[in-house]
Amino acid sequence: MDRLARSGVTWVVAAALLGSVLLAPAAAAASSAVLVYVNGHLVFTDVPPRLESDRLLVPLRALFEALGVEVHWDAATRTVRAGGADLSLVLQVDRELALLGADEVELEVPPRLVSGRVLVPVRFVAEALGGTVEWDAVHRAVRIQAPVLRSPDASVAGEQVEGSGLLTVAEVLALVPEADILLLARLITAEAHGQPFEGLVAVGAVVLNRVADPRFPATIRDVIYQPGQFLVVRNGRIDLAPTQVSVEAAVEALRGRDPTGGALFFYNPARSTSTFWKGRPVLAIIGDHVFTR
């Protein structure tokens, strides 16, 4: 991403759908992010998918709305009704029978309710939509191809928050290269694994603050790989797969969230003995890190 001045131009988000493994071990799913592509576009979700009986469950609403399918939730019966052009689908949480059109279909794994999201077997959903699902083991990616049943409403993909200056998903996907999102997530994983979520976002914000500052390189990649800046680049930890939560934190930082208030540096006072930090203003303390300029 080229340098963007913080005054007048807002960092944006790559938000909305899934993040998962198809048939990979559950331990791997927990430790590293799995990329999900819908019709070639990289997407994310606020609730991670889960494996059950070797079947991957993904958030239903995010997937359906991205493809233009209207979704209705009945809390009393815990039932999801989805419809669009030539599609009628009814699913009930913990029930192994789904209604596809006029036909009952038996599911290998029933829908589950997790953190307020209904998760359903990804293969069943894709095929119900007339699409396909593929697992890319090399890139740890789920690739879903399915027809869009109507033009998605931009507010469904990612609403702009009134008064926040945050932009939409469509705008971020047009602006932020996929490689930059994933590189930022890898840095966050390497530098701040185990820190609170705000601390992960803060590390991402430091990188973006540098991109916006003329004293530093003008792209995410060049900031991260600037010689002598990040120990994790020198020791190779930057090459580790990003965790799911780090991907989510990178997205939040790209949206424009900055818990540090404009920090350009961070350090762990329990580990660092450098005199570089002496006299520098403390902008925020989040988890084990101090953020400064």
pLDDT digits (tens, 9 = 90+) for 207-250: 999 988 989 998 999 999 999 999 999 999 999 989 888 988 89
> In angstroms, rounded to a whole number, what is the distance separating the alpha carbons of residues 155 and 161?
10
Of the chain, the percentage scoring pLDDT greater than 70 comes to 73
Nearest in space to 128 (alpha carbons), one of 147, 115, 112, 143? 147
Mean predicted lDDT score pLDDT of the chain: 77
Residue keyed to tokens 């599609």: 87
Banded model confidence at residue 43, pLDDT cuts 50, 70, 90:
low
pLDDT tens digits along 148-203: 765 434 333 333 333 345 545 455 555 678 889 899 999 999 999 999 999 999 99
Range of lowest pLDDT (40-49, 93-102, 267-276): 40-49
Q: Nearest 5 degrees, angle CA 173-CA 175-CA 180?
A: 85
Q: Can you list the domains of the chain with their CATH numbers?
A: 26-157 (3.30.457.10), 172-292 (1.10.10.2520)
Range of lowest pLDDT (84-98, 137-151, 158-172, 251-265): 158-172
Banded model confidence at residue 30, pLDDT cuts 50, 70, 90:
very low
